[in-house]
Structure 1
């Protein structure tokens, strides 16, 4: 898709001539980049977040009935449910997997009404005397007779109109019987399949968040509608049933001559419908001491447990749980913590209270096969989900517009929990790389959205689904980390304790959190320029963040809304006029960290002035969610300092990464020139730390995306080759000629960068190294001696350098893989081939769930699209199969968002923008 990128022969030839000189190459690249970017401004949104200015009406036009709205009217409040469900793990005569069930929901009438609205989606109800339900009065109340019952599909309601009103304060019971499909759509009550010793096994499992509990049974399916759940599952002999709470002793029953098991569970705590979970499977588990105060069990496929893949999760769950009990100063409120790894699962994991569900790759770890990154992923995901047990489950956001309160918080503290479990990993530093740097690029779009939206803007299920994005998770964690930094972690933790204590088993909004943090700030006598609420509202109620420009000659500082495309129009109003209260931190040459509250658009602070031989770095360790620009002289002094031999003694590894990332993004926004940004990478031939290299790799990848189909690609490779060669040889020596694994956690990551970048840039010996390792495996498939951390890059490079033979071998290994992390690496590597026909074959395999699991289709298509050869193939596939994908995943789904975002990464021209005409 190279249309629109015209590179003159003069520029191309000039670039080739000067390729050997790194600095000259930088200048040539920056000139071309600037020319092309000015011609082809990025016009696509970089986030899938809701854009309410273009959102269609959420209700039909004309007169509206209560069931035409998506929100419950609030006249009824559930007290408890008593649900019995029977999933069939074999298809019926029509080839369908179904479940049957009956439900009793007891509710209180809050306001007198003659209408019952209860959510229901894709359920077929038994009719009793022509009605979909039976209504009964409790505690002496008389139930009104029914006038009419019907299902309203657009708003997903079972509507029950009564002849007389329900009485305020009275209790009633609604009984229903229903049939649903145990489909493979990964939502509600669904089925997951796997092969064990050549036999297909079926798991009945759930994913209720955000609005799919209504697909399992009729319910008041909103977060604030908390209730107690009594669950009973009927299931085949040889299977086990799990739910949120401990089970009673299962009993054998016979139904229509079939011998079955009936498992009932203790009543849950008061909780939201989206946290309900139940599973029927043939899994087994490993667990903690049964006499422990909290029973911890790791459930998975029998073979996975027997191979020890659940051992690491069991080892770390207890310490992380104990960490959060101490951090919140609040005991874990349940008797057990079950965690289960599912073969098919759309999200990474789900924080169901007492029964956390995971993708296999997020819970299972095999030391002989899984990489260092896989291990970190398991630790951080477990930590994220356990953090939710209090923040999200015990205390829940009132409505989905404050989803960031749940997910941003859990993302932030997941790094604290993982750091406690693995203190050698420096997880508190890695949050900058894993969460903050990436989301800043998303939030710098005119199409971004605030962390907290207005309730009336988030109504439909598809609007709710759109909130599960990087703004909610990563920016949410970034601003909470910033808050914790300026009030201190200890005070932050104390505020959380009183917040959880006051609102346990209830729901809240962000203002309640600000109130309790302010109480903790006041008690600690911390002086802030404004209240916690006034400071933080500017970060959560308006999208984006500022770029702070510091003139180190005059001390003048300014702030403005940072946009990657400065010509884009921001049509989302802000009551704060895109002005922030910024906790500005900095250090000077030879000095210590200082802080200053920057509270206006412009101010002068003489403390920021430095001498001609000095330098200044701001936003220390990226504690604040903002970018920093300097006067040209300070940029030059920083570049000189980075290139010196003692840089790591004065400028932290995080700030070295930050300088690169700020510079590249400022260049994209035309605030500084591209030459300056590229020059911030010249020190990398002396740099061996992971964070600066990874930040540079990501930013340079943007240039590769824009230019890997043009004549500038050659000079780019030459420059990268010059910079990465010392890193390649550093790890060659550190690992004794690639025979051992680096001890340091981030060194293991950077070894991957060294080989990956060296092979792509053509460093001598790299491709021979990776292809040789791969051939050794091909010659003896039963023995794979490739370093577990290097597998992804070795597989990818070997397949890229090879042909059909290598691809077919990798495909066979993928199909035979019994460990999810190994399958995931092969799934990625298969996308690296340079053969278009093999890529097309791979794309077509995405239509067969027996070959590519439904949960993996979006990732597979994005991997292929990142291959320059595969990109147009995926684009054609997407357009040709849009109706199929829309039907399979649903409009606004996470999977479709992943595909579209990944596919449009290379798009930058008006022509390409016009092609995105999918409706």
Structure 2
């Protein structure tokens, strides 16, 4: 599932593989593997195996091409009656393998008639959705429907194929009291969106013990993953996506929690600059604290997945300001400060960030001093880790400004150009970092420009880090004011700040549309939760 979700993420970008082109071959291979898996399910295991056996027997000691495999599977499927005689596996496979994208299907039910309209389009998560030829991209998609009243039946054989058509209609669906699920267990590599009523029925069902046991593990994970990423892409209301997380208070399977940790991390960073963030942290603690407390202390022979889930829960609780975690972290950190014989590696790694974020300036400066005078006997990777924590974790601009004074203004030989690159990269991870950086650059523009503009790579990285991560109208105004004050002075980074302004304008529209919805949902949720306690 981790690899599949990575595939969804990469192929939903405006420019897939633009940063790491070497990933493309690996992605294509994995996508082909998923297509073969999809055919195994949709044709039926017996048909798939018999088709492959006949292919192997007929092509022993002979040259063959890829299409020969698809022909053998088609012949077997038509013979077994698991594929319509007018269909061809070659066309089905080609639609997936030849296109460097994945589809999204959207289901809108007519509850009175017991029918649904199903549309397909390119799945695009990253904005803007201005991908060339996106209207021409169509797939052969198996529509496998699971009904609320037949969830326990292991049915994966496709009754309907979208044969590279944008829209189909299906009938004989259950009445308005029952939901449907399409693409259960990720039979095919595509996300699914539903109308609001179907999503709400799924959310309510999952909040019951019977519901959680009836919907398989990978399908529960898929429903969460799809809802959140569709909301982020603008295809689903965030109120609906947030409703889909309510059952996580009772969920204990690490596979289902995996996409949730990813969403908390990504989304938490994205709204970091807004007023909503504090409410989001309280919401995070509400769900994670019971999980963490129930997991208890680590036991000697426990499963690896349980260890990882505890570690992730602790990390995100600490990041959200969970008081027991902060106290435990400061106690551990205090031993390092006050006891000369305490080694750095005796402090649990997950405690470093919360101390630098929530702790005192004195504690933060102790870490900075350790990095500046880093012992040669220690591994350099430890210094890199500590430096990233010092830069990326603080929630006060005072700490960031102190570091930037040393690194960008002072003649401090303890920080190399590689260190500066690392610092600039890390500052883009949170609003305190990139906002403090922009204000610092504005304040010290003349000196910083003289010092760094001739070092093109470093200069470009500096302007990109200071301007490229804002996502609200307030952030747009800050960058635009900076641009207007120094227009024509950016040199090699001129196109970078202009691109930043275009992107922020797009993101600000998203924030204006979605943040009020998110804030209203969180306020209602938190007030109801507190009033019930």
Aligned twin of 2:351: 794
Where 2:252 maps in the other structure, the secondary structure is coil
Are positions 1:710 and 2:274 aligned together? yes
Larger radius of gyration: 1
Aligned partner of 2:502 in structure 1 is none
Confirm whether residue 602 of structure 1 aligns to residue 148 of structure 2: no
Once residues 715 and 773 of structure 1 are traced to their aligned partners in structure 2, the CA distance between those partners, rounded to angstroms, is: 28
2:457 aligned residue (850, 872, 886): 886
Instruction: Name the structure 2 match of 1:256.
Output: none
Instruction: Tell me whether 1:687 sits opposite 2:251 in the alignment.
Output: yes
* Structure-2 change in CA distance of 1:496 and 1:476 (3 Å): farther
Counterparts in 2 of 1:830 and 1:493: CA distance versus 1, 3 Å: farther
Q: Provide the rounded CA distance (Å) in 2 between the counterparts of 1:874 and 1:497.
A: 66
Question: C-alpha displacement at 1:556, in angstroms?
Answer: 3.1
Q: What SS class does the counterpart of residue 322 from structure 2 fall into?
A: coil
What is the number of residues matched between the two proteins? 441
- Asked if structure 2 preserves the Cα contact closer than 8 Å seen for 1:664 and 1:677, the reply is yes
**For 1:95-114, what aligned pairs fall within 5 Å after superposition?**
none
Residue 317 (structure 2) aligned to one of 758, 766, 781: 758
Match for residue 12 of structure 2?
A: 444
Structure 1 residue aligned with 2:106: 549
* Structure 1 residue aligned with 2:332: 773
Q: Look up the SS of the partner of 1:749 in the other structure.
A: helix
Q: What is the alpha-carbon distance in structure 2 between the residues aligned to residue 523 and residue 663 of structure 1? A: 38
Q: 1:868 to 1:565 in 2, by over 3 A?
A: closer
- Equivalence for 2:143: 584
Partner residue in 1 for 2:121: 560
Query: Matched residues in 2 for 1:702 and 1:871: separation?
Result: 16
Contact 2:321 2:354 in 1 (8 A): no
User: Secondary structure of 2:157's partner?
Assistant: strand
Residue aligning to 2:513: none
Shift of 1:904: 3.9
Whether 1:867 aligns to 2:427 is no
Q: Is the 8 A contact 1:685 1:725 kept in 2?
A: no
For 2:258 and 2:200, locate their aligned partners in 1 and report how far apart those are by CA, in whole Å: 22
Q: Distance between the aligned counterparts of 2:407 and 2:244, measured in 1?
A: 39
> CA separation of 1:883/1:712 partners in 2, compared to 1, >3 Å: closer, same or farther?
same
Change (3 A) 1:478 1:902: farther
Q: Tell me the distance in 2 between the aligned counterparts of 1:479 and 1:843.
A: 48
Change (3 A) 1:813 1:514: farther
Matches within 5 A, 1:176-191: none
Q: Give the CA deviation at 1:586.
A: 4.2
Helix, strand or coil for the counterpart of 1:766? helix
From the superposition, tell whether residues 604 and 873 of structure 1 become closer, same or farther in structure 2 (CA, over 3 Å).
same
Structure 1 pair 904–442 and aligned structure 2 pair: CA distance change class (3 A): farther
| Matches of 2:32 and 2:406, distance apart in 1 | 41
Separation (CA, whole Å) in 2 of partners of 1:860 and 1:690 = 33
Other-structure match for 1:631? 195
- Shift of the 918–849 alpha-carbon distance from structure 1 to 2, 3 Å rule, reads farther
Of the candidates 354, 365, 369, which is equivalent to residue 808 of structure 1?
A: 369
Distance 1:528 1:757 in 2: 48
Contact 1:728 1:755 in 2 (8 A): yes
Indicate which of 71, 77, 92 corresponds to 1:535.
Answer: 92
The 2-side partners of 1:851 and 1:517 are apart by 58
Check conservation: 1:684, 1:723, Cα contact below 8 A: yes
Give, in angstroms, the shift of residue 662 of structure 1.
1.5
Q: Secondary structure at the match of 2:192?
A: strand
Partner of 1:133 in structure 2? none
Cα 1:794–1:772 shift into 2, 3 Å: same
CA offset digits 1:433-462 (Å, max 9, x no partner): 2x33244344334x335x8xxxxxxxxxxx
Please say if 1:826 is aligned against 2:379.
no
Tell me the residue number matched to 1:676.
240
Matched-pair contact (CA < 8 Å) for 2:106–2:193: yes
- Residue 885 of structure 1 and its aligned partner are, at CA, apart by 5.4
Q: Give the whole-Å Cα distance in 2 for the aligned partners of 1:911 and 1:769.
A: 40
For the residue of structure 1 that corresponds to 2:120, the secondary structure is strand
User: For residues 881-903 of structure 1, what are the alpha-carbon distances to aligned partners after superposition, in whole Å with 9 as ceiling and x for unaligned?
Assistant: 57635399xx9xxxx8xx96998
Give the one of 637, 652, 660 matched to 2:224: 660
Mapped to 2, the partners of 1:617 and 1:654 lie a distance apart of 12
User: Displacement of 1:730 after TM fit?
Assistant: 1.7
Residues 841-871 of structure 1, C-alpha deviation per residue, up to 9 Å, x if partnerless?
68659x99996695x8766543232132222
Paired with 1:850 and 1:863, the residues of 2 have a C-alpha distance of 18
Distance 1:763 1:560, change over 3 A: same
In structure 1, the partner of 2:30 is: 477
Bigger RCO (CA 8 Å, 6+ sep):
1
Structure 2: runs of 5+ lacking an equivalent? 484-492, 497-533
Going from structure 1 to structure 2, the CA distance change for 1:740 and 1:469 (only over 3 Å counts) comes to same
CA distance in 2, matches of 1:908, 1:536: 42
- String of CA shifts for 1:777-821, please: whole Å, max 9, x gaps: 44333374445xxx2x2221222223201333356568643375x
1:515 aligned to 38, 57, 67, which one?
67
TM-score, normalised by the number of residues in structure 1: 0.42
**Structure showing the higher helix proportion among its residues:** 2
* Inter-CA distance 705–518: structure 2 relative to 1 (3 Å threshold): same
Note the C-alpha offset of 1:840: 2.2
Alignment-derived partner of residue 519 in structure 2? none
CA distance in 1, matches of 2:199, 2:104: 15
CA deviations over 1:572-613 (Å, ceiling 9, x no partner):
236x81211113344333332333232222223336x23444
Instruction: Report if aligned partners of 2:12, 2:124 keep a CA contact under 8 Å in 1.
Output: yes
Which of 605, 616, 633 is matched with 2:180 structurally? 616
- Cα deviation for residue 638 of structure 1 reads 0.8
1:724 corresponding residue in structure 2 = 288
> How far apart in 1 are the matches of 2:259 and 2:240?
16
Do 1:538 and 1:579's aligned partners in 2 also have CA atoms closer than 8 Å? yes
Secondary structure in structure 1 of the residue aligned to 2:256 = helix
Task: Kindly report the root-mean-square deviation, in angstroms, between the aligned alpha carbons of the 2 structures.
Answer: 4.5
Residue pair 1:773, 1:786 contacting (<8 A) in 2 also: yes
Report the CA distance between 1:549 and its aligned residue: 1.8
Shift of 1:618: 2.2
Alpha-carbon contact 1:690-1:746 (below 8 Å) kept: yes
